Amino acid sequence: MSKRIKLFLVTLLGLALVVGVVGCTGTEEKTTFNEIKEEGKLVVGCSADYKPFEYPNEEGEIVGFDVELMEAVGEELGLEVEFKDTAFDGLIPSLKSKKFDVIVSAMTITDKRAEAVDFSEPYFNAGQVIAVKEGSTDIQGPEDLAGKVVGVQLGTTGDLEASEMEDIKQVKRYEKITQAFIELRNGRIDAVVNDLPVTAAYIMDNPDVEIIGKPFTEENYGIAMRPKDDELEQKINETIEKLRENGTYDEIYNKWFK
Ligand code: ARG
């Protein structure tokens, strides 16, 4: 091979390397967050049956605290936010099969769930309360649920708590918590175990139900993501922190809880 041709080939090889390297850094890695950015849209799974966190208004649009919080997150990140309604006990499987990017559904951070998903930093504090039909006096606290029929939403922490209590006569699991409340008001079940803010909101609309005592669990809600989506998790945590600092979180909180 002549010297000239050799030089030419070496130069060509060098050029190819440079192009290759530049090319690689130029195209972003295929992470969920990069895909979301490319689409310009964050898809959120929720069980839209949980006023005031996520529920349909009269026009059938999903509204609530979680919805506005995620819309504010989307705005900060320059993303449109789309909500997909899914039964609560189907949320984690649907997240895993990529039907959406995150779950925001008043979902309590639990050790068991954290085996399957990663949670953001806590964004809301709540606890379980017992609700009974107004005027019933035989249930004064969790101990009195012995021998009673208790309604819960399937797959929730209320379901877990009631299922762990000894001597409960029966735990009735409903797809939506509103169904449990209707059964309570019709006298078909004795109590409902559910998150305080949601039970309190239900009672505002239906004063024939009342809360017994104080919350008997301490729970924190988190935004759930697939375990590998570290960049997304970091962005979401940073953004929620920012919304807390700049007053947006409080604004949304006051709108739904004051
Ligand atoms: N915080 C409870 C849990 O994580 C209840 C959540 C129910 N959420 C809903 N959108 N229905 O189990």
Chosen CATH of 128-212 out of 3.40.50.2300, 3.40.50.360, 3.40.190.10, 3.40.50.620:
3.40.190.10
Q: Give the residue range(s) of CATH 3.40.190.10 domains in the chain.
A: 32-125+219-257, 128-212
Q: What is the mean pLDDT of the chain?
A: 93
| Statement: the pTM of the whole predicted model exceeds 0.85 | yes
**Backbone conformation region of residue 82, classed left if phi is above 0, alpha if psi is from -120 to 50, else beta:** beta
Give distance in angstroms: CA of 8 to centre of ligand 1: 67
Name the CATH architecture for the domain at 32-125+219-257: 3-Layer(aba) Sandwich (3.40)
For residue 157 and ligand 1, the question of a CB distance below 6 A is answered with: yes
Ligand 1 atom at shortest distance from the alpha carbon of 126: 1
Taking residues 234-253, report their average pLDDT. 98
Crossing angle of the two packed helices 65-77 and 248-257, in degrees rounded to 10: 160
**8 has a pLDDT exceeding 80:** no
**16 has a pLDDT exceeding 80:** no
- For a pLDDT cut of 90, what percent of the chain falls above it? 87
**30 has a pLDDT exceeding 90:** no
Confidence of residue 5 (pLDDT cuts 50, 70, 90): low
DSSP result, 174-202: ESSHHHHHHHHHTTSSSEEEEEHHHHHHH
Give distance in angstroms: CA of 106 to centre of ligand 1: 5
Q: Would you state the pLDDT for residue 29?
A: 76
CB neighbourhood size of 180 (10 A): 27
Q: Would you state the pLDDT for residue 258?
A: 85
